[in-house]
Amino acid sequence: MTTPLLDVKSLHVDIPTERGMLHAVRGIDFHVNRGEMLCLVGESGCGKSMTSLALMGLLPRKAVRTAEHIRFDGVDLQTLPEKGMAALRGARMAMIFQEPMTSLNPSYTLGDQLCEALRAHRKVNAADARDRAVHLLERAGVPQAADRMRQYPHQLSGGLRQRVMIAMALMCGPDLIIADEPTTALDVTIQAQILRLIRELQREFGTAVVFITHDLGVVARIADRVAVMYAGEVIETAPVAELFARPTHPYTRGLLNCIPVRGKTLPGSHLQAIPGVVPSLIGDVQGCAFANRCTEVQSACAQTSPYVMLNQRHAVRCVAARAELAEAA
């Protein structure tokens, strides 16, 4: 079996608040293979962005990260000092943030920022750094790339700024890119272009990508594998085709049922919705966090949320799934 590029085991992120300890991420497991596109999907507040920040070592100061291990290419990131993490960030691990206007420095030209990212990690001269920046801007679909190098972030549209962020993430040829909802602030037409661009560049450069989103339409379009998050936990993982064909966790099925289907959802009809609200993650959380919203809830759900392997690539955290698997056996 091939060793994953990124292997995360029992990751927790806890944040102290005035009301008690907030368990933002609760013991999640997942891995990413080299050259793979893993989509981390879930509703707002489920812990997706906290997971990405934990991987990059960029959590808020009060947040506490613990894990059995967070291995990147065989090295446990928990054992690295800040200097070691700084050497990885931008060089072998890069991140594309949701809002490029707050990620790009408004006081520096795009060329300065792109070249700085490369020269901070690689021994290259200014001319070679500029040539690579222009090349990647062109590959990212930025018109008049050489002229854009002299411009400032405010002179570009939102779509072009996001293309610049993609080019910047690729400057050092990283092994892994974490993209935290990079198309949320863009209109639908530009969103489609950016998604196609990310997928094309990921395949061209052989980069592994953790793509964070709440949009299952995006997941269906670009993912190789999917990890569904709910209330700080990964509750189902599967290859994208299998997840859409055989969603097993009631929450996953609920998400899919909320999507209008052409030819089946009648104009003017009500879309399905998952009843209830996400429980508070402050203090102790026992059993299945989805139990208060689940139509298949059982008495055992209040005490346990078992991790069930349906096959080698499809896993789900659900009491009902365990019972069904036992019956099938």
What would the pLDDT profile of 296-325 be if each residue is shown by its tens digit? 888 899 888 888 999 999 999 999 888 777
SS (H, E, C) 11-43: EEEEEEECCEEEEEEEEEEEEECCCCEEEEECC
**Overall size of the chain counted in residues:** 329
d(CA 101, CA 90): 18
Task: Output the pLDDT for position 110.
Answer: 95
Task: Output the pLDDT for position 321.
Answer: 84
Banded model confidence at residue 276, pLDDT cuts 50, 70, 90:
confident
Banded model confidence at residue 36, pLDDT cuts 50, 70, 90:
very high
Q: Does the pLDDT at position 257 exceed 90?
A: no
Task: Output the pLDDT for position 67.
Answer: 96
Banded model confidence at residue 1, pLDDT cuts 50, 70, 90:
low
What would the pLDDT profile of 240-254 be if each residue is shown by its tens digit? 999 999 999 999 999
What distances in angstroms separate CA 160 from CA 86, 98, 135, 197, one per listed residue? 27, 14, 15, 12
Banded model confidence at residue 190, pLDDT cuts 50, 70, 90:
confident
In this structure, of 37-41, 82-86, 175-179, the range with the lowest mean pLDDT score is 82-86
Q: Count CB neighbours of 284 within 10 A.
A: 8
Tokens of residue 62, six digits: 């009060």
In this structure, of 50-54, 83-87, 184-188, 208-212, the range with the lowest mean pLDDT score is 184-188
d(CA 99, CA 308): 37
Residue type at position 123: K
Task: Output the pLDDT for position 328.
Answer: 63
Mean pLDDT of the chain: 90
Banded model confidence at residue 16, pLDDT cuts 50, 70, 90:
very high
Proportion of the chain above pLDDT 90, given as a percent: 65
Q: Does the pLDDT at position 285 exceed 60?
A: yes
Report the candidate in 329, 322, 291, 292 with the shortest Cα–Cα distance to residue 307: 322
Question: What average pLDDT score do residues 82-87 get?
Answer: 91
d(CA 184, CA 263): 27
Contact criterion met (CB below 8 Å) for 208 and 176: yes
d(CA 95, CA 117): 12
Task: Output the pLDDT for position 176.
Answer: 96
Question: What average pLDDT score do residues 131-156 get?
Answer: 94
Report the candidate in 328, 296, 299 with the shortest Cα–Cα distance to residue 311: 328
Question: What average pLDDT score do residues 270-291 get?
Answer: 88
Question: What average pLDDT score do residues 171-177 get?
Answer: 94
Contact criterion met (CB below 8 Å) for 95 and 178: yes
Q: Does the pLDDT at position 264 exceed 90?
A: no
Q: Does the pLDDT at position 2 exceed 80?
A: no
Q: Does the pLDDT at position 10 exceed 70?
A: yes
Banded model confidence at residue 149, pLDDT cuts 50, 70, 90:
very high
Task: Output the pLDDT for position 102.
Answer: 82
Task: Output the pLDDT for position 270.
Answer: 76
Residue type at position 61: R
